[in-house]
Amino acid sequence: MKTLSFLTAGLLALSASAFAETQTSVVLVHGAFADGSSWNKVINQLQKQHTEVIAVQLPLTSLKDDVAATQRAITRAQGNVVLVGHSWGGTVISEAGNDARVKSLVYVAAFAPDSGQSTGDLVGRYPAPAGSADIAKTADGYLYLPAKAVSHDFAPDVKPAEQKTIAATQGPIKAEAFAEKITHAAWHDKPSWYVVSQNDRMINPQLERAMAKAIHAKTTEVAASHVSMVSQPEVITRAIEQAVEGK
């Protein structure tokens, strides 16, 4: 009986190990002027497919700190990881995505800097989007969006009640973070997907298309604002599912 118990325990352990190796988890990384709740609609859809999902809560104090927070989430995940980044989160996943557990990357209206490049280096390549003029700064160097800028520039295609929630829950970002350079861009080694927001007022859509081309991403375009995961979560979920399936 003891032998059978040991045998059963061993088989269960092997089964659990095999499950962890084959399961794919999704780790979602929000951008500046947002928090993990920006992914709520996408999370609900992914969980219906029995996918493990972890939404990172970035401190937004530096690239190093944000990468560390993302790495902790990758460590928590079961099995392989599809790493998804929105906006500033694209810079974060470009660095954190070098983790061996990360199998693919998904950029949602996101920055995709190259090795040795910062987010700020990318911004100056195309005309500044309209929303950039409305970014405000605190006395201690953090950037945030006034409520009017959220409704007019950041999330103009979502309901007013949602706009108010986004404005209230946003995370201000340390301005200096945009000057921090990544060491090695993970997209050089990992398959990538990119969803371009055609009506983006925070990142120039032309820049988004150029970055998607540069990283050789499988690209989708959506007629949405900067927060396509809020206004059109089905499109974003579909892109993530394609990355999970490797299609």
pLDDT top residue among 123 and 247: 123
- 167-179 pLDDT, tens digit per residue, is 999 999 999 999 9
pLDDT band for position 125 (cuts 50, 70, 90) = confident
Mean pLDDT confidence for 93-119: 98
How much of the chain, in percent, has pLDDT values that exceed 90? 87
Whether the full predicted model's pTM is greater than 0.75, yes or no, is yes
Spell out the SS3 assignment of 90-107.
HHHHHHHCCCCCEEEEEE
As given in the structure block, the two tokens for residue 208 are 């988004």
pLDDT band for position 8 (cuts 50, 70, 90) = very low
Residue 22 confidence (pLDDT): 62
pLDDT band for position 247 (cuts 50, 70, 90) = confident
Which residue reads 């201690």 in tokens? 140
What angle, rounded to 10 degrees, do the helices at 233-245 and 40-48 form?
50
**Which of 144, 169, 148, 145 is CA-nearest to residue 230?**
169
Mean pLDDT confidence for 96-122: 98
- 130-147 pLDDT, tens digit per residue, is 999 999 999 999 999 999
